[in-house]
């Protein structure tokens, strides 16, 4: 990510100052108070399983664009700044594969500090609701459900996707971080926990 030159709040040229024990880019105008803590992104991906002829199969999409064009992965993308995680991952599944699926729980996440931004990549388990895989030929080159044997025989399946699928297969639904409906506000925030807390705790 290119270094910022100007304050995004007031357009003053940024300087460097010590803040929190390290040098950071900051606005020299103390009334503005802007400090640049870095660039961050939240990725979300979906393990969607369904049964076909007695076999459990997992949904994968083939990337149509760089980076990693041609590789296979669970569908996913970035949560927008004004979008809740469960909504974001459901949207990404529909956009990339035409499959309708509903959020169930979080089965794992990766925190990465290399790349253009610091990234948290959250792997969610979604319940298959309906539809058949389809792809747009641009962002996605293919979309299919694969058996567990095929996950290890198809060339180019990303390791993090295999890992996420195994997490979903080896844990019961609800064993991951699920939305605590008592502590969440569907229009503004979602609270995730290993179990729902008694609603009386939120009074």
Query: What are 60-72's pLDDT values in tens digits?
Result: 999 999 999 999 9
Residues 152 and 113 occupy one common structural domain: yes
Question: Percentage of the chain surpassing pLDDT 90?
Answer: 84
Domain of 100, CATH number, reads: 3.90.79.10
Do 46 and 137 lie in one domain? The reply is yes
Q: Are residues 69 and 137 in the same domain?
A: yes
Instruction: Report the pLDDT value the prediction gives residue 203, as an integer from 0 to 100.
Output: 63
Question: Does residue 121 sit within a domain?
Answer: yes
Considering the domain architecture, whether residues 33 and 45 belong to the same structural domain is answered as: no
How many domains are contained in the chain? Answer: 2
User: Mean pLDDT, the chain, as a whole number?
Assistant: 93
Whether residue 190 lies inside any domain: the answer is no
What's the per-residue H, E or C state across the chain? CCCCCECCCCCCECEEEEECCEEEEECCCCCCCCECCCCEEEEEEEEEEEEECCEEEEEEEEECCCCCCCCEECCEEECCCCCCHHHHHHHHHHHHHCCEEEEEEEEEEEEECCCCCEEEEEEEEEEEEECCCCCCCCCEEEEEEEEHHHHHHCCCECHHHHHHHHHHHCCCCCCCEEECCCCCECCCECCEECCCCCHHHHC
pLDDT value for 3:
74
pLDDT tops 60 at residue 1: no
Instruction: Say yes or no: 31 and 47 in one domain.
Output: no
Residues 70 and 131 in one domain: yes
Is 185 part of a structural domain of the chain? Answer: no
Same domain, 58 and 152: yes
Asked whether residue 162 falls in the same domain as residue 94, the answer is: yes
Q: Report how far residue 47's alpha carbon sits from residue 104's, in angstroms, rounded to the nearest whole number.
A: 10
pLDDT at residue 44 greater than cutoff 50: yes
- Residue 180 placed within a domain: no
Do residues 79 and 60 share a domain?
yes
Q: Is pLDDT at 2 greater than 70 in this prediction?
A: no
Q: Are 120 and 43 in contact (CB under 8 A)?
A: yes
**62, 143 Cβ separation under 8 angstroms:** yes
Look at residue 59 and tell me whether its pLDDT is greater than 80: yes
CB–CB of 16/23 below 8 Å? yes
- Between these two residues, 20 and 147, which has the higher pLDDT value? 147
* Same domain (yes/no): 98, 160: yes
CB-based contact 95:103 (threshold 8 Å)? no
Domain of 16, in residue numbers: 1-38
Residue 151: CA atoms inside 13 Å, Cβ hemisphere, count?
23
pLDDT at residue 141, as a whole number: 97
């Amino acid at each position: 990510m290119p270094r910022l030159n100007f304050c995004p709040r007031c357009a003053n040229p940024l300087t460097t100052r010590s803040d929190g024990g390290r040098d950071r880019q900051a606005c020299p105008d103390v009334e503005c108070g802007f400090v640049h803590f870095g660039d961050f992104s939240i990725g979300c991906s979906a393990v969607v399983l369904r049964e076909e002829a007695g076999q459990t199969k997992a949904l994968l999409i083939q990337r149509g664009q760089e980076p990693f064009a041609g590789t296979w992965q669970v569908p996913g993308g970035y949560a927008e700044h004004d979008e809740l995680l469960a909504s974001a991952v459901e949207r990404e599944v529909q956009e990339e594969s035409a499959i309708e699926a509903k959020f169930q729980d979080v089965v794992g996440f990766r925190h990465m500090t290399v790349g253009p931004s610091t990234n948290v990549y959250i792997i969610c388990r979604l319940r298959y609701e309906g539809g058949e895989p389809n792809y747009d030929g641009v962002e996605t080159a293919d979309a299919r459900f694969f058996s567990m044997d095929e996950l290890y025989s198809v060339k180019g399946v990303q390791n993090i996707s295999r890992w996420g699928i195994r997490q979903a297969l080896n844990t019961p639904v609800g064993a991951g971080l699920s939305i605590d409906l008592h502590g969440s506000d569907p229009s503004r925030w979602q609270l995730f926990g290993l179990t729902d807390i008694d609603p009386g705790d939120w009074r």
